[in-house]
Structure 1
Amino acid sequence: MTRLVTPRPAQAQVQYSHWPRRLPRELAVPRTSLWFNLAVSAARYPDKPATVFLGATLSFDTLRAQAEALAGWLQAQGVGKGDRVVLFMQNCPQYLVSFYAVNRADAVVVPVNPMNREDEFGHYLTDPQTKVVICSGELAGVVAAASARLAPAQRPAAVLVTQYWQTLPPDGPAADCQVPEPMRAWLMARHELPPGATDWADALGQGLVPGPHTAGPDDLAMLPYTSGTTGLPKGCVHTHATLMSNSCGGCLWGHASAESVGLAVVPMFHITGTLYGVLGPVFAGMTLVIMPRWDRELCGSLISRYRVTHWTCIPTMIIDLFASPNYRSFNLTSLRYLSGGGAAMPKAVAERLLEEFGLTFAEGYGLTETAAPTHGNPPERAKLQCLGIPIFGVDSRVIDPTTLEELPVGEVGEIISHGPMVFKGYWQQPEATDAAFVELDGKRFFRTGDLGRMDEEGYFFITDRLKRMINASGYKVWPSEVEMLLYRHPAVQEACVISSRDAYRGETVKAVVVLRAEAKGKTTEQDIISWAHEHMAPYKAPRLVSFVDALPKSGSGKVMWRTLQEQEQQIQQPQAR
């Protein structure tokens, strides 16, 4: 960890110049485990719906009871304190039951993107030494195939499989939810269990009672994975305390309470989905309306039917909702707080939201390493295409990424943040952890890798990236990871992945490929794209491919990806005019 110079005190105060008068600058964060939040809400609101899933409700008391029974089952499989349990499924009530069951068993949640393929999933078994996998039926085959590739000692001790229909009404999704037929068929599908796997109903039906809950605020609670500029995805060490900070802070910032109704549409495996679809609602005792997958017609009908008040999303969802020919028939008048991030909200869309619905889109900013937001726009004074101001207990600065000197207001540099939600480090990677932090005034600041500036009112703006990363509709794609997977293609000799502009996603993935001699003239761009979709998550798979005879390289032999990126930008400039 590198030491920085002492900043100018006046600059540090700028970021508080427009702090909302209704809010404290720091929170008295509960010194309890996350499980305690569910226990309290179940005691306070036992019969209140914790979740609504396409017509089926799950009360807080039932959520608690199922989580305790599942915790007992996990412990019976040998799960002990600190052991890692993978959650691998789309949004559903079972995700919340599983999350809190792992907490209750004093174990650690490892959330995994359900779009991952067999080639990618194995890493989430070996790197965290996963003890148990809890997955949905359509993904059980991925788990089984990835496990079969490993040595017996590396395989999970148990696999628990749930089916989405198990928490739906007996006849399937309620008719007035307007679930599209392909989604209905997917939800109601009955998948066979792989050999040795346990069915969800059987695990809960055993009614096993877990041992005493001993996890405290400083114990490891979750290990979400994030990729980087090199190597495979890294686990971010989050304790109950780092997650608790934004669990309660997010509710206070967004006017949420037990009377609120939230819409869970951001994937729960994602840190934003975890915060606003798993942690915050249970802390506040609010009802959560769950969407298993994005569909604009379904979204509009659920907001209308259940009078949703709070919706955290990515801007592309709102753009898509507005594009629906039926959007004027949706009743969105119940919405009180609309927030999100991952991509900038277009000015025209934000203005339309304000004019038609009186809603201000409050953009925020955060990373997996920071348990979602470190910055947020106060709903009462939001700025467009802006990260907002540092939230509760956060101290953010802008530094020169080379000299590590703090920069004056208005100058562009790397954004660094210190706060109670910042992770403890990367799982079993001390060198990467050390490189991720700098020290200033005795505080440990996380280096975000994002270049930005702070204006004279203390609001932060991103201008560029220090790290090589593609942001496709809020999903972060790390080119090095895609390149490593592409090298497995028998026709690929070399590959360099860059970003390309996309009217809907903002950015999309492009692969510049050198083919092996024997594959030239026999392999098409579509061949590469199709193969990629079979071997990696859809959001990572290149949508564009171009073939070249050679990649530009430096004197040391490194691929000069910036040269290719600049060439791509020059090609696209005339299109952007």
Structure 2
Amino acid sequence: MQNLKKKSWPSYLPKQLDYKLGEKPLHEYLNYNAEKYPSCVPYNYYGNKITWAMLNDYTNRLAHFLKENHIKKGDRVALYMQNCPQYIIGYFGIQKIGAIVVPLNPMYKEAELDYFINEVDIKAVISTVDLYPRVYAIKDKTPTVEFIITTRYLDFLPEEIELPIPDELKIENQKIDSTYDFVTIMEQVSPLKEIEEIDIWNDVCLMSFTSGTTGRPKAAMLTYGNALFKAAATTNAFGFTKDDKTIIIPPLCHIGGKILGVNIPIYSCCESILMSRFDPEATIQAIEKYKINLLYTLPPMNVAILDYPNIEERDLSSLKINFATSFGIPVSKELAQKWRTLTNGCLLYEATYGLSETHDADTFMPRDNIKFGSVGIPTFETEMRIIDLDTGEELPTGKQGEIVIKSPGVFKGYYKRPEDTYEVLKNGRLHTGDIGSFDEDGYLFLHGRVKEMIKSSGYSVFPEDVEALLDRHEAILQVAVVGVPDEKRGQSVKAFVVLRQEYKGKIMEEDIIHWAKNNMSAYKYPRYVEFRDHLPEAISGKVLRKYLQEGEEKERL
């Protein structure tokens, strides 16, 4: 594999990865940027231009507050909000005292929050006011949470908003008296003077929830070194520089959003237009107004822009590179050509392949040799193998097997889950559970997943998680869920349900769906429910989802 990698390595990239400031945590890169470029703008939030000096000052004030309130190195602090400046301030403010960031998806509801908070013993939560009621509703079930900081999106919106904003950002939420107010902290707390000493390759800075290979979500422990390595490798591979301008659309609570929305801007010093979510008109206006040249999308976003009324009259010619990730719609040659025509030359191609356990972005696509259908070649200092699922032996070019990764981005393990860690992490190599193959040029192609994870609307849905939530329904005796194809979402969740005897004939499939919709995230709740008298089981009693999945596939033939 290494010979193939050398064969396909692009000539415009150095062969070795050098860190701009050496092996330091990214928050020290933030400190440096504030000293060297104090008036430059790394983040523009609908017209609120936050300079490096401002961002560094905000993070230092939050760090000081957390330290005064007994948050110490190794403690877990959750961020529960949509994309906004407070997320980025929170991210680095937490890490400057050596505490650990735990992102919570803003779509999580009470039962989900209960599980995640208790799984890693979260000590404090920073939440937006609109989401706070969910945190408050489970306060008696989450005893490790000592205090909550709340904030409003409105607090960081400018007086003159420069782009269309989603309706939820316009709501003038009331401040919560029983919590600490984020803005008050920024105004009244003095900045932290000395940041915590960090062992970069051993201290954990981030816990990102993932399924691993089986079970309910587990917290992948990622170090400061993991984050630095992926920031440097991806910045170099993607070609970001201080002069570039991009738009941050992916959710920052996702590992991919952190690479693009947090790590790359801090490492490369580029300017980012921060948006809470994708909106075609806002995105088009941002490209036109700020002359965006680098963009990351999912293909449905490109299609939405291509189909936007009178799009041919808009000016997208500043775009030069558009990285994308196949979802629902593949990043195809045909789509790339349409995009290139619309934008007068912008390249659209597959961005990368990666996992939460590796801080994402394990491959990249050489822009001078794009292969549609592939996810590119392994990035800097990354060794990938394809192994036989039964024997563990490395397979030759063209053969399909499990993808195994070794790199400085590979995580330390799952929090308090040594057995799960041992299952996937062997001799420093991550066994991904994904099926892939390499072609003769060293390009990686994906063929499926060993895992039973469901990909819905770009989110990872873990069957055991949905099943555990559905088990709370009083009418359900037994349940198993699988993913089924969905043209809009990629996949949707289907639940196979065995009802308790006393509920048979008294409850309908729609009732289960309605209940789930009110108790789960929008991307997670089952769109389809099928009642069964029994579910296929192994001798051990474990439900065999594969037979349910196979049955669904046969019905579609």
* TM-score bucket of the superposed structures, by smaller chain: over 0.9
Aligned amino acid, residue 400 of structure 2: V
Conserved 8 A contact 2:492-2:526: yes
1:310–1:318 Cα change, 3 Å: same
Partner residue of 1:402? 390
Q: What is the CA distance between 1:501 and its match in structure 2? A: 1.0
Query: Does the residue aligned with 1:46 lie in a helix, a strand or coil?
Result: coil
Matching residue within 533, 553, 556 for 1:549: 533
Task: Map residues 422-571 of structure 1 onto 2, 5 A cutoff.
Answer: 422-439=410-427, 444-571=428-555
Which whole-Å CA distance do the structure 2 matches of 1:538 and 1:92 have between them? 21
Structure 2: which 5+ residue stretches go unaligned?
A: none
Q: What is the CA distance between 1:565 and its match in structure 2? A: 1.0
Q: Which shows bigger deviation, 246-255 or 390-399?
A: 246-255
Conserved 8 A contact 1:413-1:453: yes
Partner residue of 1:203? 185
Conserved 8 A contact 1:449-1:467: yes
Query: Does the residue aligned with 1:511 lie in a helix, a strand or coil?
Result: strand
Conserved 8 A contact 1:360-1:379: no
Partner residue of 1:18? 8
Partner residue of 2:253? 269
Aligned amino acid, residue 389 of structure 1: I
Partner residue of 1:165? 154
Q: Which shows bigger deviation, 415-424 or 216-225?
A: 216-225
Aligned amino acid, residue 527 of structure 1: D
1:428–1:491 Cα change, 3 Å: same
Conserved 8 A contact 1:105-1:210: no
Which whole-Å CA distance do the structure 1 matches of 2:231 and 2:30 have between them? 12
Which whole-Å CA distance do the structure 2 matches of 1:351 and 1:512 have between them? 42
Matching residue within 59, 69, 87 for 1:95: 87
Q: Which shows bigger deviation, 78-87 or 339-348?
A: 339-348
Matching residue within 419, 428, 437 for 2:407: 419
Task: Map residues 382-397 of structure 1 onto 2, 5 A cutoff.
Answer: 382-397=370-385
Query: Does the residue aligned with 2:98 lie in a helix, a strand or coil?
Result: coil
Q: What is the CA distance between 1:426 and its match in structure 2? A: 0.9
Cα deviation per residue 1:222-271 (whole Å; 9 max; x = unaligned)?
11111245433211111111100111221111221111112111000100
Give the count of matched residue pairs: 549
Conserved 8 A contact 1:147-1:155: no
Q: What is the CA distance between 1:74 and its match in structure 2? A: 0.8
Q: What is the CA distance between 1:507 and its match in structure 2? A: 1.5
Query: Does the residue aligned with 2:130 lie in a helix, a strand or coil?
Result: helix
Structure 1: which 5+ residue stretches go unaligned?
A: 1-10
Matching residue within 173, 176, 191 for 2:173: 191
1:510–1:325 Cα change, 3 Å: farther
Conserved 8 A contact 2:386-2:436: yes
Partner residue of 1:5? none
Q: What is the CA distance between 1:388 and its match in structure 2? A: 0.8
Which whole-Å CA distance do the structure 2 matches of 1:330 and 1:567 have between them? 48
Which whole-Å CA distance do the structure 1 matches of 2:310 and 2:535 have between them? 48
- Structure 2 length-normalised TM: 0.95
Which whole-Å CA distance do the structure 1 matches of 2:516 and 2:62 have between them? 36
Q: Which shows bigger deviation, 46-55 or 403-412?
A: 46-55
Conserved 8 A contact 1:262-1:281: no
Q: What is the CA distance between 1:211 and its match in structure 2? A: 4.9
Conserved 8 A contact 2:128-2:152: yes
Which whole-Å CA distance do the structure 1 matches of 2:125 and 2:86 have between them? 13
Q: What is the CA distance between 1:106 and its match in structure 2? A: 2.0
Aligned amino acid, residue 27 of structure 1: L
Query: Does the residue aligned with 2:410 lie in a helix, a strand or coil?
Result: coil
Q: What is the CA distance between 1:66 and its match in structure 2? A: 0.8
Q: What is the CA distance between 1:88 and its match in structure 2? A: 0.8
Which whole-Å CA distance do the structure 2 matches of 1:233 and 1:291 have between them? 27
Conserved 8 A contact 2:217-2:462: no
Which whole-Å CA distance do the structure 2 matches of 1:519 and 1:324 have between them? 48
Identity %: 33
Q: What is the CA distance between 1:545 and its match in structure 2? A: 1.7
Which whole-Å CA distance do the structure 1 matches of 2:310 and 2:507 have between them? 43
Query: Does the residue aligned with 1:512 lie in a helix, a strand or coil?
Result: strand
Aligned amino acid, residue 108 of structure 1: I
Aligned amino acid, residue 14 of structure 1: L
Conserved 8 A contact 2:208-2:219: yes
Which whole-Å CA distance do the structure 1 matches of 2:319 and 2:503 have between them? 55
Partner residue of 2:118? 126
- Structure 1 length-normalised TM: 0.91
